[in-house]
Amino acid sequence: MKPLPAIAQTKKKDYGIFFTPDWVVDFMVELIAGGLLKKNEISILEPACGGAQFLIGIKRKNPFLFKKAKKVGVEINKEIIRHIEYLTSHIDLVHADYLLWDTKLRFDLIIGNPPYGIPSLSDHYSLKVDNATKQKYRNIYTTWYGKYNLYGAFIEKSINLLKENGQLIFIVPATFMFLDEFKKLRSFLARHGKTQIIYLGPDVFKPEADVATVVLNFKKTKAMSHRFILSEYKEGKVIQIRKENRWQGEIILFSTTFSKKLDDLCSYRLGDVYDIKISPRTPEIKHHPHVKKEKLSGHLPILNGSNLKCNHILYESLTGYWIAKEKITTLRNFFTKPHIVVGLGFREDGRVGAAYDARLYPWMGDVYHLLKKNSILTLNYDLDDEEVVEYLSTNVVKRYIKDIFREVTYHLSITQLKLLPLPSKKEWEIIKKEWL
């Protein structure tokens, strides 16, 4: 195959262009259901098709299927379309934004690699989409929620374009398994068919992109909806990890014998006992009327994630921001109560950075605050905050996190933190005796 035209690296990022390795294309083509292969008439769509790698992959692996199928590719970038036209004479190439593409066509098979990224014009995000277009997406897609990722909208659109019993095979980031912004997408998947997720891990797009991916293998069917299987691809084999017949779109986690043991032992989850709040972000600190950029008398340094070590806080200025002690409540009220602080990122050895702030300092940036709930559930909770910090800093929690979230995220979201098992005093004694 003739190489695609050289597209500047920045432009590539703007469109979310990362080409799928051939072994992944072949693996995904092999997932095409036998029932579809037997059909006399079959229509196949590759959305965001780039070089039409998947349609070409079908031609390579199954020339007979390629020959009999009606094939459509949709691509937003005219430059790319122009270049591949010569090798795709049997493919209908549509120049359109897939998410706004208005079509009456319906497909038996939709296969491909959609773009990944939070759409925005800001430098902070990689996929460049203007606000008016983003608003259109938001109005069209029922699964759009929070800082939604474009790949979620590609999944929704594709399922809508599938015929009954049609199949969707996409390689996408694994984040939809448990991040909050995909909760509507998970329930959409559960309502519309049977979902298989095959975990591929973090290496597929390295070094261009560092993202843990899965193959989503979805069958649109009313009969089999609410079914879900989690598997992983390891040394050429697909190994099943979990299966549910009544999945409603709940968070999907990996599990191991060890994680199950800790789940079974602990009577609580962190989210049962604590409310979790995030620190003020840098822009808020920068524009805050009482924040100073120098040390004045009666002022405290504002701490951030770098001040937070495992079970230990460096009470010194690393941020260059200060605030008068009596003005701390103008930032957050809870800064005046001793409480547990937890870092979003893991510490060097992979452990959670958690400590107890007894000295009531102000915080900013990537730091969570755990505030004891006042509810019937927490009334009998008997482990004190210092012991909870000790537990969170252990290798037991480190291992649990690795076992259930694998390499999917490099930091802890509030949803993930809430899910961590939390022992009572008696259970903590067992952990110390058996595992530490």
Using CB under 6 A as the binding rule, whether residue 55 contacts ligand SAM is answered as no
Q: Closer CB to ligand SAM, residue 117 or residue 423?
A: 117
Q: CA-to-CA distance for 223 and 217, rounded, in angstroms?
A: 17
CA torsion sign for 413, 419, 425, 431 is: negative
Least distance between ligand SAM and beta carbon 115 (Å): 4
Q: Which stretch binds ligand SAM (CB under 6 A): 47-55, 172-180, 210-218, 309-317?
A: 47-55
- The stretch near ligand SAM (CB under 6 A) out of 9-17, 161-169, 359-367, 405-413 is 9-17
Is residue 256 close enough to count as binding ligand SAM by CB under 6 A? no
Residue 207: Cβ within 10 Å count: 6
- The least CB distance from residue 141 to ligand SAM, in Å, is 12
98 to 137: interface string for ligand SAM, x by CB under 6 A: xx------------xx-x----------------------
Q: Work out whether 76 is an interface residue with ligand SAM (CB under 6 A).
A: yes
Q: Does 213 bind ligand SAM (CB under 6 A)?
A: no
Q: Rounded distance, CA 261 to CA 264, Å? A: 5
Q: Is 276 in the site for ligand SAM (CB under 6 A)?
A: no
Report the 10 Å Cβ neighbour count for 333.
11
Measured CA to CA, the distance from residue 44 to residue 76 in angstroms comes to 18
CB of 55 to ligand SAM, least distance (A): 9
Of 356, 354, 409, 416, which is closest to residue 385 (Cα–Cα)? 356
Q: Say if CB 157 and CB 144 are below 8 A apart.
A: no
**Out of 29, 42, 72, 74, which residue is the one contacting ligand SAM (CB under 6 A)?**
74
Least separation in angstroms between CB 75 and ligand SAM: 5
| Residue 53 touches ligand SAM, criterion: CB under 6 A | yes
Examine residue 149 and tell whether it contacts ligand SAM (CB under 6 A). Answer: no
Contact by Cβ (8 Å): 21, 204: yes
Does the footprint of ligand SAM cover residue 14 (CB under 6 A)? Answer: no
SS3 label, residue 390? helix
Instruction: Output the smallest distance, CB 317 to ligand SAM, in A.
Output: 43
77 or 317: CB nearest ligand SAM: 77
Among 36, 60, 62, 77, contact with ligand SAM (rule: CB under 6 A): 77
Q: Which of 29, 32, 42, 48 binds ligand SAM (CB under 6 A)?
A: 48
- What is the rounded distance in angstroms from the CA atom of residue 198 to the CA atom of residue 378? 38
Rounded to whole angstroms, how far apart are CA atoms 315 and 81? 57
Q: Give the tokens for residue 193.
A: 């068919």
Q: Which is nearer to ligand SAM, 110 or 190 (CB)?
A: 110
Catalytic positions: 113-114, 116, 205
Rg, the chain, Cα only: 25
Which residue in 27, 44, 50, 304 binds ligand SAM (CB under 6 A)?
A: 50
Please classify residue 261 by burial: count the beta carbons closer than 10 Å to its beta carbon, then call 0-12 exposed, 13-18 middle and 19+ buried.
middle
**45 touching ligand SAM, by CB under 6 A:** no
Confirm or reject binding of residue 303 to ligand SAM (CB under 6 A): no
Smallest gap, in angstroms, from Cβ of residue 254 to ligand SAM? 25
Closest distance to ligand SAM from the beta carbon of 289 (Å): 42
Structure tokens at 385: 């905050």
Q: How far is CA 80 from the centre of its chain?
A: 28
Residue 259 found at the interface with ligand SAM (CB under 6 A): no
Which H or E run contains 435? helix 425-435
Give me the DSSP letters along 195-232.
EEEEEEES-TTTTT----EEEEEEEE-STTTTEEEEEE
Q: Does 170 bind ligand SAM (CB under 6 A)?
A: no
Verify binding: residue 416, ligand SAM, rule CB under 6 A: no
| Residues in the chain, overall count | 436
Residues 161, 167, 168, 169, Cα dihedral to 10°:
-150
Question: Which residues make up the interface to ligand SAM (CB under 6 A)?
Answer: 15-20, 48-50, 53, 74-77, 80, 97-99, 112-113, 115
